[in-house]
Structures are given as C-alpha cells and as structure tokens.
Amino acid sequence: MSSHAEPRHAADGLRPRLIPNVRRQGGLVTNAAPTVRAFSAGEWHVYRDLRLRALADSPDAFGSTLAEETARPDAEWARRLASGVDSQMNLPIIAEVDGEPIGLAWGRIDTSDPDVAVLYQMWVAPSHRGAGAGRRLVETVIAWARVRNVSSVDLGVTCGDSPARRLYERAGFKPIGEPQPLRAGSKLAAQPMRLPLKAAAEQGHRASGAARRSS
C-alpha cells in the first residue's frame, strides 16, 4: 500500500504503513488498503453477517453471545441498523477491502450519559488483521466522538494482553476502574478503558469510575 493511494478517512495523518498489505485474491495480487465508512440503513444483512462472524470467531471478546444474536429475527436486525444509521447518537461502521466486508464497529452515545461515546462491536476478520483496519475503525469512532463534542470515548476490553488491548492503548485509551464481568455468569472480566477528549478541568465530575462497557 502506498501512502498516496490511501483513501481519505479519519485516520489520515497517522504514520503511513511501511509494510504493504498485499493479498492474493482470485489469482490476482492486490495491494488494497482497508477502508472504513458508515453503514447505510439497507445493509442490515451485511451488518448481521459481520456481527455473527465476529461472535462466532471471538466469543470471549463480546458481552453478547452468538446464541442470543442468532435468535434475532431479520426484522430486528433491520430495525437495529436503521435506527442506528438514522440517529446522530450512533455510528455503525464497516471496514472493507476491495468492497469485501471485513470488519465493523459501532460508536454510541447513550441518552443517559450524553457526555460519553462508547465503542462497541470492534472486530476484523482474521484473514485481514494486521493491516490497519482495526486502527481505522477506532480512529473513525474517535473522530466522530470529537465532532459530537463528548468528553471521552469509553470501552470495555477482555482482560489480558491482546491485539485489542494493544490497539486501544496505542490510540491513547487508559484503564479506568476495576475489571467487570464480561457478561452475567462469565468468569471472564472486561477492563473499562477511557480516552479523554477534553482537558482534565473540563472532565470535572467524570474523573472517577467508569460504568461497565462491554462490547
């Protein structure tokens, strides 16, 4: 991937990658970089398929389970994505390589805490990891959160040294508060992390304790 060929996105300005992302597709060698864009409302089936792939591939990374999400009827997936796309408080995003869906994430500002954006559902297909898609998904949600003028971006990440934890630390997230159960009945714990977007003085009362945020 050459830096001049990169599409413009929220991660522009970050250090260009020196290692080309070269993949063999249908006998052709391509050097397409991952791109990130917002989902459109009609793409619920793409969203559903990515989300189910994520839960099947990485069950310990998410608070939701494959069994719960598989049980949802199509109408609910369609409604969920359409309401996210239509709302200024949500940012469902998709990562693609050459038009192929390879990852997703969802930024959300809850009306109960409108000063905080939360990053959920981060996942990149194993075949496309290490090429910057995860970094672009995170940077896109951070850029959106800045535009929404919130004080921080929060998330929960399963405890342990993982690519996800390293990715978030590189983006500037810091642990905040004690680990919380990933989901009811699970032995796994998720570490709440926070990226402050405003100066400490503006953060005021929000300095201590983060509510549990699991993706």
Ligand X SMILES: CC(C)(COP(=O)(O)OP(=O)(O)OC[C@H]1O[C@@H](n2cnc3c(N)ncnc32)[C@H](O)[C@@H]1OP(=O)(O)O)[C@@H](O)C(=O)NCCC(=O)NCCS
Residues within the interface to ligand X (CB under 6 A): 17, 19, 21, 58, 61, 122-124, 129-135, 155, 157, 162-164, 166-167, 215
CB of 34 to ligand X, least distance (A): 7
Please, which residue, 157 or 210, has the CB nearer to ligand X?
157
Please, which residue, 104 or 197, has the CB nearer to ligand X?
104
CB of 85 to ligand X, least distance (A): 22
Please, which residue, 12 or 74, has the CB nearer to ligand X?
12
Q: Phi first, then psi: what are they for 142, rounded to 5°? A: -65, -45
Please, which residue, 82 or 167, has the CB nearer to ligand X?
167
Please, which residue, 19 or 29, has the CB nearer to ligand X?
19
Torsion, Cα of 131, 88, 182, 142 (10° steps): 40
CB of 132 to ligand X, least distance (A): 4
- Residue of minimal Cβ distance to ligand X: 134
Percentages helix, strand, coil for the chain (3-state, rounded to 5) are 35, 25, 40
CB of 200 to ligand X, least distance (A): 25
| Residue 140 contacts residue 10 (beta carbons within 8 Å) | yes
Angle formed by the axes of helices 44-57 and 74-86, nearest 10°: 110
CA-to-CA distance for 137 and 120, rounded, in angstroms?
11
Q: Is 30 helix (H, G, I), strand (E, B) or coil?
A: strand
Residue 170 structure tokens:
């590189």
Residue 12 structure tokens:
């522009």
CB of 15 to ligand X, least distance (A): 10
**For the chain, how big is the Rg over CA atoms in Å?**
17
